[in-house]
Amino acid sequence: MSADLASGPRGMLEPAPLPGGASTSLVDRARGIDTVEDLPDRYRLQVRAGLLDETLKLANYSAVTHLIIAVAVAYFFWDSAPRSYLLCLLAVVAVVIVATIYTNRLYRRTYTAAVSEVGVARGYRVSGALAYALGLAWATMPIVLFAPASSDERLLVVAIAAGLISDAYVVGPLLSVSYLFVVPVIVGSFAGLARSGEPIAMSIAVLLLVYATFVVLSVSRMSRLSRQRILDRVRVEDQSETIGLLLNEFEENASDWLWETDAAGGFQHVSARMAEALGCPIELLQRRSFPALLAQQVGLRREAGRNVELLEQLRAGRPFREQLVEIETATGMRWLQLSGKPFLDQRGHFAGFRGVGSDVTQSREAQARIAFLATRDPVTGLSNRVAFHETASKACAALDTEGALVSLLYLDLDGFKKVNDTAGHAAGDALLSEVAARLQAVIVADAQVFRLGGDEFAVLHRGRDSAQAEVAADAIVAALREPYLIDGVRAEIGVSIGIARAPRDATSPEDLLRKADLALYSAKEAGKGRWQCFDHQLEQRVQRWRELDGAMRAGLADGEMELHYQPLVRLEDGQVVGCEALLRWMRPGHGPVSPAEMIPIAESTGFIITIGRWALRQACAEALTWPPPLRVAVNISSIHFRLAGFFREVEQALAETGLAPGRLEIEITESIFLASTPHVLENLSALRALGVRIVLDDFGTGYSSLSYLTQFPVDKIKIDRAFVRELSSRPECLSVVKAIMIIARDLGIDVTVEGVETEQQAELLRARRCDSVQGFLYSPARPAQEVGGLIERIPEAIRLARQPLRAAG
């Protein structure tokens, strides 16, 4: 019963003491038969209410039947039984029946509002009380009517009693109500039969008792089945409600949504998220067919393989998982990810599809963006090295096409580093973007530009005429050499280009890039700002470099290298004041290897450091045999000198050989100051403090700056041979040399001039008070064992050479 029923007229729902002296306590005890205490708390109330509801569903029909039977009893026994009893029985039954119909109607009107424990408990008590009252009323019928009745009337009494007992099935779901009604009827019937005292009546009583026992047991089992059935229904409803809440929560808050179609493919369930993803109202989607929607998309798009695949799955009734489809909507192209399974109806026939879907458009766009960025240079927007290899691989794979030709233009900017270092990286990026724009403006339609990294670019050119690539290279060189205006600052750079062609030079992207790089190196060597095509001599030179790189390492270890010494002569008196150590390599079976070829290779690989350490120790050891204070000068690569702790290597070499620090000169070039690091200054200061002399070699060429003489501690400068070569023919060269010597003298720095080959050159330098010279005039570089003879021979040779000059003077 509902809470509303419980709040109805108190006189109706709280029955007075029952006939026969019974009270509601008997009803309460009988109600214990319907115990549901073993059920979970959330199901107990609903099961009790369900049992009461099922019991009352037939209560009105049963009540009317009881009223008809009461009228029939009064009619049949009106002449043979006390009329007062018949009227009283009819009145009691009528009152109970009216009360039952009223309370049942009240229950039907209020049951769906809210179910409460109090209301159901009162419903049980009212139902039990009415059933008990009706049972007591009918229990009097066999007691009063059976004994004095005729045989036909007795048969009628037994039949009515048996029928009344069978009425327990009608109220069977609520076992307590059934027992409260039927037990009094059974007791009254047995008492009425026993009262007559006749043998046949006792036999009927026994049979009636057996029948009643069967009815009671059957009703008990039916009640248990009803309770289990109601419990199962309540559980299913509870689970369905939970599932419904979860599904609603899922569809409202999750990114996925549910969908369902019927056997024909029409949408049966369309969520708001699905309608939003498809850009279509829910009402319109519910009138559309899913296969028809996919088929329409296949007709709209040329590349709709995924849609076709899903369409086949739907038509075949096969399950699918995370299938991607493209749907053209009013808001643009949408990507949907769908999973679905077919389901069957009660007869086992295909009934449609149920599944889950999600809108993955944003993730697909993000993936596409990531894929785009993975092949794009973020600074210039050009395709990057990854895209270059992919494109070049496809181009090389298509070389079997008749007449196909692929040209690779490998670009390296000239002077970009200077702009980047002086103007800053932001200006460098802006310059790279401008270079990319100019490249895209000058290339033809069948070419593509890539940025490979740093200031390196590539142009992949397709065509049937190799001259087209050279024309493109000319256009690129001309376009990129034009001045740039970056943030209001004028910048000028150039470009060097190496060209390699497939299939003539290479057939793979790696080889094509490598050979274009060789051509680029050749263009750089030739003076930059130009292009150079690959030829096989470049590759031979690379092979030569690789061969010498390996051979020089073995040669140093095997003693194939040695130091030769070129004397430095003091112009004042012709005395030898020192020697410069020069590396010589006599390669067995190949002859001498020029230092001009060997040193660049060693510097590019870093092996020059190993050579420098060996030369330093060897020169110190061999100079120890010379008469003091003769000095030895050792050339040290800028790579080696920039190492932290280089001065300790010098200190260790002097300690191992025993040479005095003042007899060692370390020759360095001006390039070391371009990337001056704390290690450079530390090594310079430490060597000076040690007593080792610092010589600045090749002064006057390259990046020479007079500021070096004041900023860095040096003991001597060596003027490059380029000024001496034209000393007699070009007065300006003599002026430069004179100016350098004046500045050096004022700063207390010695000056040595290299490349002196004639006596006239020596006399000009002597007149300008040059400190010392070296060159072929006195001696080329000689092995260590000949240095002693040179020390004695050179002064005598100078003296003899000067005599004719003095006589002529």
pLDDT digits (tens, 9 = 90+) for 723-777: 888 777 788 888 888 888 888 888 889 999 999 999 888 988 988 889 999 999 9
Instruction: Residue 596: count other Cβ atoms within 10 Å of its Cβ.
Output: 7
Distance, CA of 164 to CA of 184 (rounded, Å): 11
- Separation of alpha carbons 125 and 1, rounded Å: 10
Q: Dihedrals φ, ψ of 462, to 5°? A: -110, 135
**Are 716 and 695 spatial neighbours (Cβ–Cβ below 8 Å)?**
yes
In the chain, the amino acid numbered 187 is V
Helix (H) and strand (E) counts in the chain: 31, 22
Q: How far apart are CA 162 and CA 172, in angstroms?
A: 16
Looking at residue 770, its amino acid is C
Q: What is the CA angle 519-520-522, rounded to 5?
A: 65
Q: What is the predicted pLDDT for the residue at 13?
A: 34
Nearest Cα residue to 631 out of 602, 604, 653, 662: 662
Low-confidence stretches of the chain (pLDDT < 50) are 1-24, 31, 112, 300-303
Q: Which residues are CB-contacts of 414 (< 8 A; sequence separation ≥ 6)?
A: 493, 494, 495, 496, 524, 528, 529
Specify the DSSP class assigned to residue 564.
Answer: E
The burial of 639, by beta-carbon neighbours within 10 Å (0-12 exposed, 13-18 middle, 19 or more buried), is given as middle
pLDDT of amino acid 273: 72
Residues constituting the chain: 809
CATH of domain 375-534: 3.30.70.270
pTM, 2 dp: 0.51
Residues 584-638 pLDDT 10s: 999 999 999 999 889 988 998 899 999 999 999 999 999 999 999 999 999 999 9
What whole-number distance in Å separates Cα of residue 23 and Cα of residue 30? 12
Cβ burial, residue 568 (10 Å; 0-12/13-18/19+):
buried
CA 363 – CA 406 distance, rounded (Å): 37
DSSP string, 114-142: -B-HHHHHHHHHHHHHHHHHHHHHHHHHH
**C-alpha angle 357-363-366 in degrees, rounded to nearest 5:** 165
Instruction: Convert the pLDDT of each residue in 326-347 to its tens digit.
Output: 777 766 778 888 888 998 887 8
Instruction: Using alpha carbons, select from 62, 55, 177, 66 the residue that is nearest to residue 128.
Output: 177
| Residue 757: both structure tokens together | 């080959």
Statement: 254-367 belongs to CATH 3.30.450.20: yes
Reference 607, options 558, 541, 647, 553; nearest CA is 553
Q: 377 phi and psi, to 5 degrees? A: -85, 125
Rounded Cα distance between 604 and 639, Å, is 10
Q: In the prediction, which pLDDT does 2 show? A: 35
Are the folds of 254-367 and 375-534 the same?
no
- Beta-carbon contacts of residue 285 (< 8 Å; ≥ 6 apart): 267, 270, 274, 275, 278
Contact 718, 697 (CB under 8 A): yes
The DSSP H or E segment spanning 270 is strand 267-270
- Give the Cα separation of 720 and 700 in Å (integer): 6
Whole-angstrom Cα distance, residue 420 to residue 454?
Answer: 11
Ordered DSSP codes for 422-465: HH-HHHHHHHHHHHHHHHHHHS-TTEEEEEEETTEEEEEEEES-
What pLDDT sits at residue 595?
92
**CA 378 – CA 433 distance, rounded (Å):** 10
Sign of CA dihedral 455, 460, 461, 467: positive
Torsion angle of alpha carbons 497, 498, 502, 507, nearest 10°? -130
How far apart CA 340 and CA 260 sit, in angstroms, is 9
Residue 606 amino acid letter:
G
Q: What distance separates the 2 farthest-apart alpha carbons in the chain?
A: 192
Interatomic CA distance for residues 664 and 623, integer angstroms = 9
Query: Which of 320, 345, 324, 323 has the alpha carbon at shortest distance from 333?
Result: 324
Any idea where the domains of the chain sit in the sequence? 18-237, 254-367, 375-534
Q: How far, in Å, CA of 512 to CA of 406, rounded?
A: 10
Strands in 267-270's sheet, in edge-to-edge order, are: 267-270, 256-262, 350-359, 332-344, 320-329
Cα end-to-end distance, the chain, whole Å:
148
Helices 467-480, 425-442: inter-axial angle, 10-degree rounding: 140
Question: Do strands 256-262 and 350-359 pair parallel, antiparallel, or not at all (unpaired)?
Answer: antiparallel
Residue 119 vs residues 17, 37, 110: alpha-carbon distances, Å? 21, 17, 10
Q: What Cα–Cα distance (Å) separates residue 691 from each residue in 220, 647, 660? A: 121, 11, 9
Instruction: Break the chain down into helix, strand, coil percent, rounded to 5.
Output: 60, 20, 25
Per-residue DSSP letters for 28-88? HHHHGGG--TTS-HHHHHHHHHHHHHHHHHTHHHHHHHHHHHHHHHHHHTTTTS-HHHHHH
Residue 50: per-residue pLDDT: 76
Predicted local distance difference test score (pLDDT) of residue 8 = 36
User: Could you give the CA distance from residue 474 to residue 22 in angstroms, rounded to a whole number?
Assistant: 122
Q: What angle do CA 350, 351, 354 make, to 5 degrees?
A: 110
Residue 230 and residue 51 in contact, taking contact as beta carbons nearer than 8 Å: yes
- Rg of the chain over all Cα atoms, to the nearest angstrom: 58
Copy the structure tokens of residue 666: 């370390």
pLDDT at 781: 95
